[in-house]
Amino acid sequence: MSRIILEDVWYKNIVRGVSMKAENGVTAIIGPNGSGKTTILRIIVGALKPDKGRVVVPSRIGSSWQNPYYTFTKAEVIEEFIEIYGDKGRAEELLKTYNLESLKNSYTFKLSMGQARLISILIAISWDPEALVVDEPTNGLGVREKRMVEDLLKNIKIPVVIASHDLDFVLRVADYVYVLSNGRVVAGGPTLDVFYSSILSVLGFPEPYAVLVGRKLGRRLRSIE
């Protein structure tokens, strides 16, 4: 079983002594703008080398970034998947599975932000990686597409690390959460423990509606459905 471990990791003054681990399930990093979330993800995939600390990761990590267009290397969407699978039929099948057939021959650089994000996440998982890193998985996504990404991340059988500002989404999808502030982990643990503690309001994050309702009902809700 692959896993991701960071032990006392430092990078410039951006990441300060971060320790975290991600095994099966979805681990989310939350925190204000500039708190170091993306930097940690870049350290996990090996794009940045920490100044100090220990990083244990599997060799094949799929990733999708804040700017999803970075993922693309081909002109048309379908070509990205043919490149991966070496098989047109399988590539078409994948797009069909996710109801994205209509984007088959779209130019990757012309996709909308939300479409580009979906395709970039699908590319990341299609390489059959041992772990997955997704920066801001819901940015630009419509309600239906968000649900699709939620299902996808919940069902994939490898460690998944996301960085997100979308607390409603994190509450629904994540098994573990780390809260980052100024490059330090200020709280971490099972998602419901973190969200139903006082840490979010202490840090000035508005609590998700489901948490407010959950508190009133005396139940730890993940959503109000």
Ligand X SMILES: Nc1ncnc2c1ncn2[C@@H]1O[C@H](COP(=O)(O)OP(=O)(O)OP(=O)(O)O)[C@@H](O)[C@H]1O
List of residues contacting ligand X (CB under 6 A): 12, 14, 31, 33-39, 163
Instruction: Assess 2 for contact with Mg ion (CB under 5 A).
Output: no
37 vs 172, beta carbon nearer Mg ion: 37
Q: Build a one-symbol-per-residue string for 24-43: x at contacts with Mg ion by CB under 5 A, - elsewhere.
A: -------------xx-----
Instruction: Assess 139 for contact with Mg ion (CB under 5 A).
Output: no
Strands (E), 138-221: 160-163, 176-181, 184-190
38 vs 126, beta carbon nearer ligand X: 38
Separation between Cα atoms, residue 141 and residue 117, nearest integer Å: 8
Smallest distance from the beta carbon of 11 to Mg ion, in angstroms?
Answer: 14
Smallest distance from the beta carbon of 162 to ligand X, in angstroms?
Answer: 12
Smallest distance from the beta carbon of 185 to Mg ion, in angstroms?
Answer: 16
68, 61 in Cβ contact below 8 A?
no
DSSP per-residue letters across 13-24: TTEEEEEEEE-S
Q: Strand pairing partners for 15?
A: 11
Separation between Cα atoms, residue 125 and residue 101, nearest integer Å: 18
Contacted by 34, from Mg ion, ligand X, none: CB < 5 to 8 Å by type: ligand X
63, 124 in Cβ contact below 8 A?
yes
| Interface with Mg ion (CB under 5 A) | 37-38
